[in-house]
Amino acid sequence: MNLNEIIALDKKYFMNTFGDRTPVAFSYGRGMYLYSTDGAGYLDFLGGIAVSSLGHSHPGLVDAISEQSRNMIHCSNLYYIENQALLAQEICMSSCADKVFFSNSGAEANEGAIKLARLYHRKKGSLDKYEIITLEDSFHGRTLATIAATGQPKYNLPFSPLTPKFKSVPMNDLGALEKAVDGNTCAIMLEPIQGESGVNPATYEYIKGVRDICDKNDILLIFDEVQCGMGRTGKLYGYMHYDVEPDIFTLAKALGGGFPIGALCAKDFVASAFEPGDHGSTFGGNPLACAAGLAVFRAYRDEKLVEKGAETGAYIFSLLDSLKEKHDVISDVRGSGLMIGMTFNKDIAVEVKARMFDRKILIGSVKKSIIRLLPPLVVKKEHADILIRELDSVLSGITGSKIQ
């Protein structure tokens, strides 16, 4: 099918949740590039929104999925699953977690985290500790509980009445958090670096303070690392930037390199609240998804992708800082590793994204004035040079402020 035929079919049969999408359909990808149905190559600085960390069609991932699918795609959790046990081991050996449960998405991993936190207090006899405090501008998913957790009215107000006992407070404001905590507080759930609202990092002092508040009040600390985990920020997990350990954290997005899988990860003292029958999943932790996750960890190790991503990320930040010097329209460059946000002081983000698309480079925009870069961890300096060259030219074209 050509692009227009695909668009016509989509408009006729697919629910209009994504509106008018960027007018392209990709038929295959290789490394940092996606190729459209008409054969054009696009440099991918969005990585499927922090999913395709190995780049596209990584041979190790492709082989692992092909081989596993030839042997066995699905097997019920009524039986032991080798890949599931091995992937759980990978996560525990590389993090502060002692136990893992696999889901099929980020929202579903967060649902599990919320259930586990409530059950932990219930089984300790604290029946009134059920409220979860989250942050404003957060994003935790699209299910009914996770939209209630998401501190952005645009995601949850249309679906009220919301799942009760969630409230959100501003980020980097320990006073507001202290005020919100009471005898009903069960857990604080946050993204160490907020993704969907435009790459907003929590400060070091804030996260330290949050950990203290949790310890003093018998509150669980949950990190939603669905986006900032898996090497995205230059360390394998986002919490590693803060010298604290969460009691529970969740992963998804890059965990399967594009194959759907999420993980609920916890320390033993919390994880043990889940006893047989308390939680479950038909597809979660199936042999195929876990083969993908294992291939991701293998590639990270063999190709030193976290270290390389951190290095290229630092290079991109240095180039963006120079670009900021040159273009007054850039007001802020922030983030960590390969999780990068850039704010303009004019509402030009959508136009910048569109013009970059015309130049065959994929980036993301958030609201009207922020662009977001989440390239695969395999991105190289030569790709960054292309990105910056084109961004420079696009910004000069929009603002007419070319200063040489």
Ligand X SMILES: *Cc1c(COP(=O)(O)O)cnc(C)c1O
Q: Supply the residues annotated as catalytic.
A: 139, 224, 253
Is 84:285 a contact under the CB 8 Å cutoff? Answer: yes
**336 binding ligand X? (CB under 6 A):** no
**106 binding ligand X? (CB under 6 A):** yes
Q: Write down the least CB distance from residue 104 to ligand X, Å.
A: 8
User: How remote is the C-alpha of 168 from its chain's centroid?
Assistant: 20
Count the site residues for ligand X by CB under 6 A: 15
Kindly tell me which of 195 and 313 has the beta carbon lying closer to ligand X.
195
Is 13:357 a contact under the CB 8 Å cutoff? Answer: no
Kindly tell me which of 129 and 253 has the beta carbon lying closer to ligand X.
253
Is 239:82 a contact under the CB 8 Å cutoff? Answer: no
Kindly tell me which of 191 and 390 has the beta carbon lying closer to ligand X.
191
**111 binding ligand X? (CB under 6 A):** no
Kindly tell me which of 107 and 271 has the beta carbon lying closer to ligand X.
107
Region of 190-198, 215-223, 339-347, 382-390 interacting with ligand X (CB under 6 A): 190-198
**340 binding ligand X? (CB under 6 A):** no
Q: Write down the least CB distance from residue 87 to ligand X, Å.
A: 17
Cα torsion for 87, 92, 95, 97, to the nearest 10°? 130
Kindly tell me which of 84 and 105 has the beta carbon lying closer to ligand X.
105
The tokens of 275 are what? 């006893």
**195 binding ligand X? (CB under 6 A):** yes
- Going 233 to 235 to 241 to 246, the CA torsion angle's sign is positive
Residues 123-162 that bind ligand X (CB under 6 A): 139-141
Q: Name the phi and psi angles at 145, rounded to 5.
A: -75, -40
HEC string for 44-60: ECCHHHHCCCCCECCHH
Region of 76-84, 86-94, 99-107, 327-335 interacting with ligand X (CB under 6 A): 99-107
Q: How far is CA 381 from CA 12, 43, 319, 354, in A?
A: 42, 13, 10, 23
Region of 29-37, 224-232, 336-344, 380-388 interacting with ligand X (CB under 6 A): 224-232
Q: Write down the least CB distance from residue 15 to ligand X, Å.
A: 16
Binder to ligand X among 224, 237, 249, 327 (CB under 6 A)? Answer: 224
Residues 240-269 that bind ligand X (CB under 6 A): 252-253
d(CA 110, CA 262): 9
Helices (H), 14-101: 47-50, 59-71, 82-94
SS3 category, 233: coil
Binder to ligand X among 168, 197, 227, 369 (CB under 6 A)? Answer: 227
d(CA 143, CA 123): 25
**231 binding ligand X? (CB under 6 A):** no
Q: Write out the residues near ligand X by the rule CB under 6 A.
A: 105-107, 110, 139-141, 191, 195-196, 224, 226-227, 252-253
